[in-house]
Amino acid sequence: MADDDEIILSELDDEDLVAQMFDDLYDGLKEEIEEGVNILIERGWAPYDVLTKALVGGMTIVGNDFRDGILFVPEVLLAANAMKGGMAILKPLLIETGAPRVGKMVIGTVKGDIHDIGKNLVSMMMEGAGFEVVDLGINNAVESYMEALEAEGPDILGMSALLTTTMPYMKVVIDTLKEKGIRDDYIVLVGGAPLNEEFGKAIGADAYCRDAAVAVETAKTFVARKHNQGATA
């Protein structure tokens, strides 16, 4: 039996339900998020509106508090996991309705490096911001990046490294893009603890992203710019 003071999601009006979903996302409550998504869909909400208003809206708060040091990695991973639960319901519906997407990203940790917490966080936060993300996992050689870029046709290539010894491999990938004459086809974002802005510039990346929240903001800015250029070209 439910406690008297327990919130019954289905009894909340749309506005209160979305506000409650913000709280539930923040607290990493996956089942509640799944229930909330299903309720809004049943009420006739467009899948894209559920994504942007409830899930992306909620993850924006999580991202801001992560950036400001109020939330830490474990809480953000919980929130992102709850978001994934909602996304699993929405994904097939979004494909059906042909909803607009913000952009697409291929991301992976570079060859020789098996660290993935930072990369996973970026993937989840990017999905939380409405991007489609193809995660290549860890230890990626230049060939696997090239194959993924060709197969997926993303807007963004994201590379991560946590070891100073694997950082230079990012330059190998970017140099290969240049050799193939396709460097300008992609926005290249790099990240990882030992990197800094100077390194990002030196290897020819578009931007270095300090953390997942910065990665999302940077990706949005670059994709908007790319679309605007496409419109005027």
pLDDT at 232: 55
pLDDT at 231: 60
Q: Residue 98: which residues within 8 A CB-CB, separation 6 or more?
A: none
Question: Is residue 233 pLDDT above 70, yes or no?
Answer: no
Question: Is residue 66 pLDDT above 70, yes or no?
Answer: yes
pLDDT at 149: 98
- All structural domains of the chain, each given as residue ranges with its CATH number in brackets, are 9-100 (1.10.1240.10), 101-233 (3.40.50.280)
**Predicted confidence band of residue 95 (pLDDT cuts 50, 70, 90):** confident
Convert the pLDDT of each residue in 159-196 to its tens digit. Answer: 999 999 999 999 999 999 999 999 999 999 999 989 99
Residue 45 contacts residue 94 (beta carbons within 8 Å) = no
Question: Is residue 203 pLDDT above 90, yes or no?
Answer: yes
Q: Which two tokens stand for residue 18?
A: 């979305």
Cα separation, 203 vs 174, whole angstroms: 7
Average pLDDT over residues 98-109: 88
